[in-house]
A and B are shown apart, each in its own frame.
Chain A
């Protein structure tokens, strides 16, 4: 059996594999720490944006409070290490699990809300989480938690000054989220969500019931977001509510997907590749007075892309799946 769908899917896998190898080899010629860091952060956000995309883009539930799962993932993994000595190589998956669980808990009452109501609910829930962690002494409150520097080891996922292992870790993370999105796109869920977005009445007449699949999307999205949060905590060595749970972080997670193209496979990656270097470069150039300029930049970009090219920038490259340009 062969048709355009199968051909496209094969094509995507090949491109994905080539990209994976290329990015894996990328740090070899690069020796300066700044660029290495930039690549790592970009990859992390590519993965986070793709995780968001699974729920927000494919499934169509726009979450503006995803930082909650990111934050909970980092806190759980970090605290398990700091308080209970659980090695981070295991702990990060606990972080992911908590992220997934939290997403399920939020999703269950909220999914029956339509578009804007849902978005607002996620903002409020995210804010609640932020305030809770800010005022909770056990998790360090506003002071946050430091990850003690240990001897470099794979178990502890600490590597001293060497950034290369983190590069591979984050690349694996990004690749995993991409693969999850690829699998979902070709699955019954992917088709169901697209059908509902196109014409909910027709979809229902064909037996498409999406509540349970929305929950699955939330769990997967939350899991990867939490996982990313845990990895981020390890990499940066310090977490606090303002850096991992605040509202602006929710925006940062969703932004690459919106820019690149929600509901597309490459959109989040393209978006991250454009946005993160832009953000880092602008804050280096503009330094202290750059406060606010990055926000103005994001804001303007969101509005322009949303109005001029709502399918995202990825639509500039090649035809849309259905043959239209």
Chain B
């Protein structure tokens, strides 16, 4: 095993890890804000990927250029989902916890079915973009450009989320997270904050989806597999913690890459799940979470 191989694996893991971090960040944001796990998170990402595919196949527009469009669409979707469903779910009298779980879960199933219905079950791929099939050679280590771009964009988006948290709006988000009841007294419209939170969470996962479409296949089940990784990442990092999402995302990316290299690629998830189980048993609140 040469140094190049090790670097290859490590960097590959880092690149994927940053994407996972962004996906997890969106999930963690929503959860930290209102205690709702968005079980449709993966499916939203999948929609973003399909959107890229559709726009690309119709207009040939490169995914990189589509970024702002699709991100905005996903943002709008997040807000719509909140206003249409989640808001209502939060005010249910009976069995509120269960209702929250099932509403987003039902949405996930619906979206998955819709994708299958519209585009069929086969995988699609976005090919011949500016970056596809090109890679950077750093002393024997090959970094495919689509993955590299994806990780950089995701890192930037993550930084963007952090920057937002320092603005007035971000402070309002934080306040709402800390004490939902009190913010109403400060004139902060909780409903509006929640809707924006959902928009941001969906937008974040949309960005991840757009970049992912540059090198990953597009299919109705893609959302589910990424969602799984996202849950594990958020659980490892700690629900509600942005730092946790970043650290855990990179960790998960590395663990996955190492497991794929050491065992075999089809078993790469085993390493991730083993970590999840370990976290579950020994530190249920995750690395940075407050249970």
- A: residues with CB less than 8 A from B are 60, 62, 64, 109-110, 112-113, 115-117, 119-121, 123-125, 127-128, 131, 135, 247, 251, 258, 262, 289, 291-303, 306-307, 310-311
Q: Is the CB of B220 within 8 A of A311?
A: no
B residues 252-269 in Cβ contact with A at 8 Å: 266-267, 269
Q: Is the CB of B228 within 8 A of A310?
A: no
Which A residue sits closest to B284, measured CB to CB? A113
Q: What A residues does B101 contact at CB under 8 A?
A: 62, 64, 115-116, 119
Q: What A residues does B109 contact at CB under 8 A?
A: 251, 295-296, 298-299, 302
Q: What A residues does B115 contact at CB under 8 A?
A: 292
- For residue B94, give the distance in angstroms from its CB to the closest CB of chain A: 5
Q: How far, in angstroms, from A143 to B95 measured CA to CA in the complex? A: 41
Q: What A residues does B120 contact at CB under 8 A?
A: 291
Q: Is the CB of B117 within 8 A of A306?
A: no
**Beyond A124-B231, A251-B105, A295-B114, 8 extra complex contacts between A and B, CB < 8 Å:** A109-B280, A127-B273, A258-B102, A291-B117, A292-B112, A295-B109, A295-B112, A303-B85
- What sequence of 0s and 1s flags, for each residue 230-241 of chain B, a beta carbon within 8 Å of any chain A beta carbon? 011001000100
Q: Is the CB of B114 within 8 A of A292?
A: yes
A-B residue pairs in contact (CB < 8 Å), sample of 9: A109-B281, A116-B101, A120-B235, A299-B112, A303-B85, A303-B107, A306-B99, A307-B85, A310-B99
Q: Is the CB of A299 within 8 A of B37?
A: no
Q: How far, in angstroms, from A224 to B189 measured CA to CA in the complex? A: 48
Q: What B residues does A311 contact at CB under 8 A?
A: 94-95
Q: What B residues does A291 contact at CB under 8 A?
A: 116-117, 120-121
- For residue B132, give the distance in angstroms from its CB to the closest CB of chain A: 28
Q: Assuming the A-B contacts A112-B284, A124-B273, A307-B103, are A119 and B37 also in contact, with contact meaning beta carbons closer than 8 angstroms in the complex?
A: yes
CB of B140 closer than 8 Å to a CB of A:
no
Q: How far, in angstroms, from A292 to B102 measured CA to CA in the complex? A: 19
CB of B54 closer than 8 Å to a CB of A:
no
Q: Is the CB of B280 within 8 A of A306?
A: no
Q: What A residues does B239 contact at CB under 8 A?
A: 117
CB of B245 closer than 8 Å to a CB of A:
no
CB of B144 closer than 8 Å to a CB of A:
no
- For residue B36, give the distance in angstroms from its CB to the closest CB of chain A: 8
Which A residue sits closest to B113, measured CB to CB? A295
Q: Is the CB of B110 within 8 A of A299?
A: yes
Q: What A residues does B3 contact at CB under 8 A?
A: none
CB of B276 closer than 8 Å to a CB of A:
yes
Q: Is the CB of A124 within 8 A of B110?
A: no
Q: How far, in angstroms, from A293 to B113 measured CA to CA in the complex? A: 6
Q: How far, in angstroms, from A322 to B100 measured CA to CA in the complex? A: 24
- For residue A136, give the distance in angstroms from its CB to the closest CB of chain B: 11
Per CB-CB distance, the 10 closest pairs between chain A and chain B, nearest first, are A295-B113, A299-B110, A302-B106, A292-B116, A299-B109, A292-B117, A296-B113, A303-B106, A116-B37, A306-B102
Count, chain B residues at interface, CB 8 A: 50
CB of B207 closer than 8 Å to a CB of A:
no
Q: What B residues does A62 contact at CB under 8 A?
A: 97-98, 101
Partner of B95, one of A251, A296, A310: A310
Q: Is the CB of A295 within 8 A of B92?
A: no
Q: How far, in angstroms, from A295 to B111 measured CA to CA in the complex? A: 8
Q: How far, in angstroms, from A297 to B114 measured CA to CA in the complex? A: 10
Q: Is the CB of A307 within 8 A of B89?
A: yes
- For residue B112, give the distance in angstroms from its CB to the closest CB of chain A: 6
Q: What A residues does B270 contact at CB under 8 A?
A: 128, 131
- For residue A276, give the distance in angstroms from its CB to the closest CB of chain B: 16
- For residue A196, give the distance in angstroms from its CB to the closest CB of chain B: 12
Q: Is the CB of A296 within 8 A of B97?
A: no
Q: Is the CB of B106 within 8 A of A301?
A: yes
Q: What B residues does A123 contact at CB under 8 A?
A: 228, 231
CB of B108 closer than 8 Å to a CB of A:
yes
CB of B224 closer than 8 Å to a CB of A:
yes
Q: How far, in angstroms, from A310 to B88 measured CA to CA in the complex? A: 12
Which B residue sits closest to A258, measured CB to CB? B102
Partner of A120, one of B37, B98, B100, B118: B37
Q: What A residues does B281 contact at CB under 8 A?
A: 109
Q: What A residues does B266 contact at CB under 8 A?
A: 135
Which A residue sits closest to B102, measured CB to CB? A306
Q: Is the CB of A299 within 8 A of B111?
A: yes
Q: What B residues does A292 contact at CB under 8 A?
A: 112-118, 121, 220
Q: Is the CB of A117 within 8 A of B110?
A: no
Q: Is the CB of B103 within 8 A of A303?
A: yes
Which A residue sits closest to B270, measured CB to CB? A131
Q: What B residues does A301 contact at CB under 8 A?
A: 106
Partner of A124, one of B94, B106, B276, B284: B276
Q: Is the CB of A307 within 8 A of B92?
A: yes
Q: How far, in angstroms, from A110 to B117 measured CA to CA in the complex? A: 36
Q: For A125, A292, A294, A306, which residue has the most chain B Cβ atoms within 10 angstroms?
A: A306
Which A residue sits closest to B112, measured CB to CB? A295
Which A residue sits closest to B272, measured CB to CB? A124
Partner of B102, one of A121, A300, A302: A302
Q: Assuming the A-B contacts A121-B280, A292-B114, are A310 and B108 also in contact, with contact meaning beta carbons closer than 8 angstroms in the complex?
A: no
Partner of A117, one of B95, B106, B224, B284: B284
Q: What B residues does A113 contact at CB under 8 A?
A: 280, 284
Which B residue sits closest to A289, measured CB to CB? B117
Q: What B residues does A135 contact at CB under 8 A?
A: 266-267
